[in-house]
Amino acid sequence: MKKLEKSAVFPSLGSFGAESNFWEMPATSDGLFCVGKDGVEAVCATGDKKVEFVAFKDKTMAHVKSELGYPAYYPVRDVSVKKPLKAVLMDLDGTTIKSESFWIWIIEKTTASLLGDEKFSLEESDIPFVSGHSVSEHLMHCINKYCPEKPLELARDFYFKHTHFEMNEIMQGRGRPGAFTPTDGVKDFLLSLKSMGVKIGLVTSGLYEKAWPEILNGFQALNMGDPKDFYDAIITAGFPMRKGQPGTLGELSPKPHPWLYAEVAKVGLGIDFADRASVVGIEDSGAGICSVRLAGFAAIGLGGGNIEKSGTKALCHKYFETFSDIRAYLS
């Protein structure tokens, strides 16, 4: 595998060259599609290698890999932006609320517990793999790299132990300083969408028990009341499965899979797939950008996250550094 050098065309996705930071591949990592066979014209992967694209003459397929052993293939659809918009779908962590560093810290503490080493710290190269995906995906990355003999179940036990303690500390006013901070300009942006009559959906790969206190804390800081009254739809990755407790689907199907964005648009907001050009998704993570794009919506990237580090900026319909810039584009 080497960095993409020559320009390659991926129908419904775009033409990508060296500036994309994509990887050129002779075949998909599972060996199902090989360049030059069965109509395959090119194969490439995002910079973080989490999603692979297979180009045929008239279509592109996306292969979403999985640390948990359940990959999937999706068709890539054409996207465009049709104004006036019907809906804006927004990520939580890093986009609406600056919290990625807190959750990465929890992953770091969990790995330290697995290793029995309180001084353990993640490497910079780990960041694209411990943000934007599901908890179990994050944990499996760390297990595979740092302690392959440890079971995922044990990692999840440590993770929820640390999460419950730290979230309780935050709710009691004793938590980690700056754990949850509203992104600059997000309040004005949200209110401007309301004034335009645009529906707003909040989308997070976070499990409910970690996401909901964060949403509440953020809205308290913004003095915006109850988020359930403000948003037209909110979707999380549900409730974790643990012994003695029922769970919901969430660990195998979150970002970069398309289902969270697809469900909040169709089920939560009642927007048909045929009207997807009137919907955009705003994300700061590479996994989120892929999720929006595979759900069939134009993805708008927000600076400050790991889009550039994950090598997914080329998948953004537009990329901006601030919410004021996004507001000017959407108006």
323: how many CB neighbours lie within 10 A of its CB? 21
Is residue 173's pLDDT more than 80? no
Residue at 80 is within a domain: no
Can you tell me which residue has the tokens 């949200």?
Answer: 190
The pLDDT-based confidence of 23 (bands split at 50, 70, 90) is very high
Residue ranges of E strands in the chain: 2-3, 8-10, 14-16, 23-25, 42-45, 51-55, 60-64, 72-75, 87-91, 97-98, 181-182, 199-203, 233-235, 279-283, 298-302, 318-320
| The total number of structural domains that make up the chain | 3
Is residue 313's pLDDT more than 90? yes
Q: Which domain holds residue 195?
A: 87-98+181-330
Q: What angle do CA 209, 214, 216 make, to 5 degrees?
A: 100
CATH classification of the domain holding 309: 3.40.50.1000
Q: Is the pTM of this model over 0.85?
A: yes
pLDDT tens-digit series, residues 262-292: 999 999 999 999 999 999 999 999 999 999 9
At which of 11, 40, 75 does a domain end? 75
Same domain (yes/no): 112, 92? no
